[in-house]
Structure 1
Amino acid sequence: MYLKQIILTDFRNYQKQKLDFSPAVNVLIGKNAQGKTNLLEAIFVLAMAKSHRTSKDKELIRFKQEAARLEGTINRRLGDLKLELILSKKGKIAKVNHLERPKLSEYIGQLNVILFAPEDLALVKGAPQERRRFIDMEFSQIDPLYLHDLSQYKQVLRQRNKYLKALQLKQANDLVYLDILTEQLANLGGKVIAKRLIYLKRLETYAKDLHAQITQGKEQLTLRYKTNLKDLGTQTENDLATNLLAKFQQLRQKELSQGTSLAGPHRDDLSFYLNDNNVQTYGSQGQQRTTALSVKLAEIELMHEQTGEYPVLLLDDVLSELDGQRQTHLLKTIQDKVQTFLTTPGLNDIAQQLIKEPKIFHVNNGKISTDDENTLQVEIFYPHKDEKDESTKN
């Protein structure tokens, strides 16, 4: 799988832009605030129908415009595929081969992407919600049913939390309705946890091998799913739902007192261990970064295993955060395997030696030019005249 072409209309600072890409490595070189990350974000949004940088779609629409449009041509094993996503203040319109998909679960997964940015190096040490976001984002792309169950779970969770808050404030008193919501949430939660356990086990297999290669066999990486349910390895989806329902009953008085749901996949976490030592607690910064790198690279293999296609890899200025050994391992792993988009202020000696025939895009002051001297104009909107005047002086 690779992205052949993208067309952006009124997305971020792009007024109208059409770009054709290499199926191998595409390198975007330029100083900060030139639009490199905006292009990677556009590819991510085209795939996931949401941004990794903001939860507000209106921030993706060019200033004073009503809507943003992204169009992409994807090459897959069975032929080319056309994707179109329109973002407006009224909502989203998603199309596959010009046919509108009313459910985003029918759209997401057509283009699979893995984003690796400097903040992802904090995957190990960061907050639990970052790891949950990581899990859900990747598994939703490889399994539409997981995305559906997760969406349903979040919807019922919002309803249940709202009703718990009403009970806490004495604005409601129907505990039977709470029981109905609790049973629905437990059933959906059991489905989500069951799939997480399956895919995390497969992810661990690939991550363990990659980590052993990076550390020359000195460290063994394992992943452990953290939840307040017990005996996860022996439980079926129905067992997990029953277990979760019992946990809700156990926590009922506490939930009524606090007005929120205190158990379920929305509160679970992921732990990383090296030679049975918790990396989050006892690992060095180097070990934590190597663990994050191993896990992110393992996603590539998991997606290929589950979908039969390699994903598109987005590397947003990540080379500058890795030492020479980790840069080498990253670039060797992706070489001749996945289409890659790499943003960087400039390629260092290691990258130049390891990347074979990249397509180079120079991003500077609102213009993108390739090394073959074909210049592609990027129309940048300047909200203030002085900004445009200033940029022309450089």
Structure 2
Amino acid sequence: MYLKALHLMQYRNYKSIDLEMSSGINVLLGENAQGKTNLIEAIYTLAMTKSHRTNNDKELISWGNDAAYISGELVRRQGKIPLSLQFISKGKVAKINHLEQSRLSHYIGQMNVILFAPEDLALVKGSPLARRQFIDRELGQLNPLYLHHSVSYKSLLKQRNAYLKQLNRKVATDKLYLTVLTEQLVKSASHILFMRYHFLKKLEGFAEPIHYKISDQKESLALRYVSGITITNEDTISTLYDRLLEKLKQHEKHDIERETTNYGPHRDDFSCIVNAIDIQKFGSQGQQRTTVLSLKLAEIELAYDATGEYPVLLLDDVLSELDDMRQTLLLKTIENRVQTFLTTTSITGIKKQLIVKPTIFTVSNGRIINGVCDIE
């Protein structure tokens, strides 16, 4: 798949732009604070219905305006698919083929994107939240059922935590209602745990040989899902439901005292094991960066395996953070296969032989000049 055209109106620092993009590598060239990352964000938002930089949609609307608009023409094997998002003060409107979608979950998954930014290089050594979001982003695009249960789980978790607070403060006393909330919560949680566990196993299958190659055949990578309950290959959704429900029942008193749910997918994590060592705790920066690159390249292959089409790749100023070897591997992997949007302040650091005739968009103060040329 690839994004053929993009239209923005009153989005961030763009008053109105229309772009025709290449199905290959598109370089967004310009100085800092000119709008390169805003373009990357707009493409990501068009796919996911929300920004990766802010949870406040109002920030996407240009100063002094009431609405922002993003639309694009996506090309997939079955044909062209018009996509559009409108952000207004009361919310957002998502359309596929010009038809408004009643739920955002029906929209997400039309265009698969993978974002790779400098902050992702801290994925391995960063917080568990970052790693949970890493899984959630990819699974949410590839599996509508996961997205459904994820939305349901977050809503039920909020309700349960609110009721735990009421019980602890003696505002409420009905334990039966807590039991109902817990059972509903665990129903969604068991699906999430099952899908996350098997997603990570599949990702490991793609990441391990990539990591072995990057490390010059010196390192073996394994991924381990870390949960408050035991999960194995033999587990079903039903067995996970029983196990987590029992765990929450055992810790119900503790949850009430703490006024929060202490076990479930919202507390889980995953570990990156290199040569039997947890590199989140003991790995070098080089090992951690190699692992992140392996995971990102594995994401591309996993998306292709799941959909039969390569996703759109967004590289936001990440090449400057990679050494020559890792930069070469990344660019060679995506060459002639994956539509890529790459931001940079200079093309002099990109080897000519790695990108042949890219489409180059020069970005300056919310304005764009595009053309096709060789890198000097």
TM-score by length of 2: 0.97
Q: AA paired with 1:99?
A: L
Q: Tell me the equivalent position of 2:244.
A: 244
Q: Tell me the equivalent position of 1:105.
A: 105
Give the drift of 1:321: 0.5
- Any conservation in 2 of the 1:328–1:350 contact (CA below 8 Å)? no
Alpha-carbon distance between aligned partners in 2 of 1:370 and 1:227, rounded to the nearest angstrom: 48
| Partner SS, residue 16 of structure 1 | strand
Q: Tell me the equivalent position of 1:334.
A: 334
Give the drift of 1:236: 0.5
Give the drift of 1:363: 1.2
Alpha-carbon distance between aligned partners in 2 of 1:360 and 1:32, rounded to the nearest angstrom: 16
| Partner SS, residue 351 of structure 2 | helix
Give the drift of 1:349: 4.7
Runs of 4+ in structure 1 over 6 Å off: none
Give the superposed CA RMSD: 1.1
Q: Tell me the equivalent position of 1:155.
A: 155
Alpha-carbon distance between aligned partners in 1 of 2:369 and 2:57, rounded to the nearest angstrom: 29
Q: Tell me the equivalent position of 1:381.
A: none
Report whether the alignment pairs 1:268 with 2:268. yes
- Any conservation in 1 of the 2:15–2:366 contact (CA below 8 Å)? no
TM-score by length of 1: 0.93
Q: AA paired with 2:367?
A: K
> Aligned runs of 1:1-394 on 2, under 5 Å?
1-371=1-371
Give the drift of 1:29: 0.8
Alpha-carbon distance between aligned partners in 2 of 1:250 and 1:233, rounded to the nearest angstrom: 25
Q: How many residues were matched structurally?
A: 373
- Any conservation in 2 of the 1:125–1:280 contact (CA below 8 Å)? yes
Distance change (3 Å), C-alpha of 1:271 and 1:75:
same
- Any conservation in 2 of the 1:331–1:351 contact (CA below 8 Å)? no
Deviation by residue 1:81-102 (Cα, 9 ceiling, x = unmatched): 0001111111111100011111
- Any conservation in 1 of the 2:70–2:86 contact (CA below 8 Å)? yes
Alpha-carbon distance between aligned partners in 1 of 2:363 and 2:12, rounded to the nearest angstrom: 15
Alpha-carbon distance between aligned partners in 2 of 1:251 and 1:140, rounded to the nearest angstrom: 30
Alpha-carbon distance between aligned partners in 2 of 1:351 and 1:153, rounded to the nearest angstrom: 47
Give the drift of 1:365: 3.4
Give the drift of 1:62: 0.8
Alpha-carbon distance between aligned partners in 2 of 1:177 and 1:322, rounded to the nearest angstrom: 53
What is the identity percentage for the equivalent residue pairs of Structure 1 and Structure 2? 54
Give the drift of 1:332: 0.7
Q: AA paired with 1:35?
A: G
Alpha-carbon distance between aligned partners in 2 of 1:165 and 1:299, rounded to the nearest angstrom: 39
| Partner SS, residue 83 of structure 2 | strand
Deviation by residue 1:168-188 (Cα, 9 ceiling, x = unmatched): 221111100000000111111
Deviation by residue 1:218-253 (Cα, 9 ceiling, x = unmatched): 100000000011143321011001100011011111
Distance change (3 Å), C-alpha of 1:30 and 1:243:
same
| Partner SS, residue 102 of structure 2 | coil
Q: AA paired with 1:205?
A: G
- Any conservation in 2 of the 1:28–1:344 contact (CA below 8 Å)? yes
Deviation by residue 1:122-171 (Cα, 9 ceiling, x = unmatched): 00000000000110011100001110011111111111011111112211
Distance change (3 Å), C-alpha of 1:372 and 1:240:
closer
Deviation by residue 1:8-46 (Cα, 9 ceiling, x = unmatched): 011111111111100000001111000000000000000
- Any conservation in 1 of the 2:14–2:367 contact (CA below 8 Å)? no
| Partner SS, residue 361 of structure 1 | strand
Alpha-carbon distance between aligned partners in 2 of 1:225 and 1:61, rounded to the nearest angstrom: 38
Q: AA paired with 1:192?
A: I
Alpha-carbon distance between aligned partners in 1 of 2:367 and 2:147, rounded to the nearest angstrom: 38
Alpha-carbon distance between aligned partners in 2 of 1:321 and 1:94, rounded to the nearest angstrom: 35
Which deviates more from structure 2 when the two are superposed, residues 238-247 or residues 362-371?
A: 362-371
Deviation by residue 1:348-370 (Cα, 9 ceiling, x = unmatched): 45432201210011112343212
| Partner SS, residue 233 of structure 1 | coil
Unaligned runs of 5+ residues in structure 2 are: none
Q: AA paired with 1:302?
A: L
Alpha-carbon distance between aligned partners in 1 of 2:233 and 2:310, rounded to the nearest angstrom: 29
